[in-house]
Chains A and B, each alone.
Chain A
Amino acid sequence: MKRLLVLGAGTAGTMAVNRLRRRLPRHEWAITVVDQSDTHYYQPGFLFIPFGKYRPGEVTRPRRRFIPHGVDLITGEIDRVIAEDATVRLVDGTELPYDYLVIATGTTPRPAETPGMSGPEWGRSIHEFYTYPGAVALRERLKTWPGGRLVVQTVEMPIKCPVAPLEFTFLADAFFTDRGMRDRVEITYVTPLEGAFTKPVASRHLGGMLAERGITLEPDFLTERIDPETRTLVSFDEREIPFDLLVTVPVNMGADYVARSGLGDELNYVPVDPETLLSRQHDTIFAIGDASDIPTSKAGSVAHFSMEAFTDNFLRHVQGQPMTRRFDGHANCFIETGHGKGMMIDFNYTTEPLTGTYPLPRVGPFRLLAETPRNHWGKLAFRWIYWHVLLPGRRMPLPAAMSMTGKHPEPTSSGPDTSHRAGRPQTTTAPKE
């Protein structure tokens, strides 16, 4: 009997065991998945909790419900992976030998990485919404917050769901407007990026939307520390931003056991081949979902779009055949923009988010980088799809690879036609101040 061991029963790990159980013969393969908790959270729903749009119960389900028959679910904390012995040891001493290991333990916010963050102001004037308790605590705070300076801050990239801080900001603007107190709230959006988002086209659109809403954008802000006494963010280049309420996205890091096992980079992400997700160190270890170091968004959509290629490749790899599928880094995100509207972006390793329609040309139904009510309803409908289609590993009627169909390429974005622009006189957009 061969043993497949999956670490983490979150979005990626759950999809993987569902898909692989169907394709690995039961008389040849035992599948075990380990997770530290019994509850599966619908993480995209955390965004809505602070504004009272989702009740806490709407984002939780028992983990076991999504683990198929024929897969052992073990609840326990992982101590380390001993790759030389092909064994995983749990904190309680249990040893789990494996033939193949899939690391799917994601990424978590680490407030302690930023001096001054997790001190006395944590949970008072400093909040976050990337964890279930954090989102619930922020909801309580917003209920009675009298107004003042709201600062929404990302400490460092990469983070899980990189559009979420923008969505939070748009929803906060709408929330305070609806409560008739927008004039008593000053909103500042602080980011280590040089604009509202990572790539030029989306950054321009989203930056414009911040400006329209009277939200101040503070780019290139790399936070060194927080002064809890004066309630001030301080950057490495000594800029200061005072706040009355800070909603922060702390440094995100992969699981600590990854570091203890010598399998991680400086943020505990597992270095993998971005097209096959196979570890660069060990050819019996894969890393899927947010746990790997692939250069695309840390998002459920990426885990989902990579799953088809991953399962096909896994089946070939364990039979000693070359892996033939290539994951393209496809990501797709709804962006809530407030007042019942939303946007969508769709991109991969090489194509930045562009305008247009998705998935079909002209008819959509979703508009890319444009605000529509339909995008918002798509986002809300996604919760049902997540529980009933995505996690059980059922097929979605959408191609896994990104498609240019419906997208409007920009003349400035790099493509084959830029290759002839020889002899450009000087480097005019170098990183000047």
Chain B
Amino acid sequence: MPVTTIDGRQVHVNDEGYLTEYDEWDEDLAKVLATQIGVDLTEAHWKVLRFLREDYKAKGETPTTRRVQAVGGVPIKDQFTLFPKKPGSKMAYIAGLPKPHGCV
């Protein structure tokens, strides 16, 4: 996997720029990733991001928008407000997780 420098740190990313190492992420890095895609992080964003991180740790998969609603308690409509147009991939990108498999 390619290595890139974000915020003065070397991190591993895939071809689409998503972090590939769970432990290379922290909240400071998330702020930089969010800025890159034009998202200003508020407490509402953090609630989603923390759910993503915890759920991934438990399940080994990035939760889908449906799961963020059903298990994380954030309605899909709100996810679209927080992460416009593409909540599924934007949330994953900022949380340093793989894109949720929209499945094959």
Contact = CB atoms under 8 A, between A and B. Distances in A.
Bin chain A's interface residue count. Answer: 35 or more
A391 to B, nearest CB: 24
A192 B88 CA distance: 10
Interface in A381-433: 412, 414, 418-419, 421-433
A312 to B, nearest CB: 25
A194 B86 contact: yes
Contact of A426 (B4, B37, B71): B4
Interface in B31-77: 33, 36-38, 59, 61, 65-67, 70-71, 76-77
A331 interface: yes
B23 interface: no
A236 B104 contact: no
Interface in A252-273: 265-267, 271
B66 A431 contact: no
Interface in A272-330: 295-298
Contacts of A157: 102-103
Nearest to B70: A266
Nearest to A429: B16
A347 interface: yes
B66 A266 contact: yes
The 8 closest A-B pairs by CB, nearest first: A427-B17, A158-B103, A431-B89, A266-B70, A236-B80, A424-B2, A157-B102, A430-B17
29 contacts: A162-B103, A162-B104, A220-B86, A222-B65, A222-B80, A224-B77, A236-B76, A236-B79, A267-B66, A271-B59, A331-B104, A412-B15, A414-B15, A418-B2, A422-B3, A423-B3, A424-B4, A427-B4, A427-B6, A428-B17, A429-B16, A429-B17, A430-B16, A431-B37, A431-B86, A431-B89, A431-B90, A432-B38, A433-B85
Interface of B: 1-6, 13-17, 33, 36-38, 59, 61, 65-67, 70-71, 76-77, 79-80, 84-86, 89-90, 93, 101-104
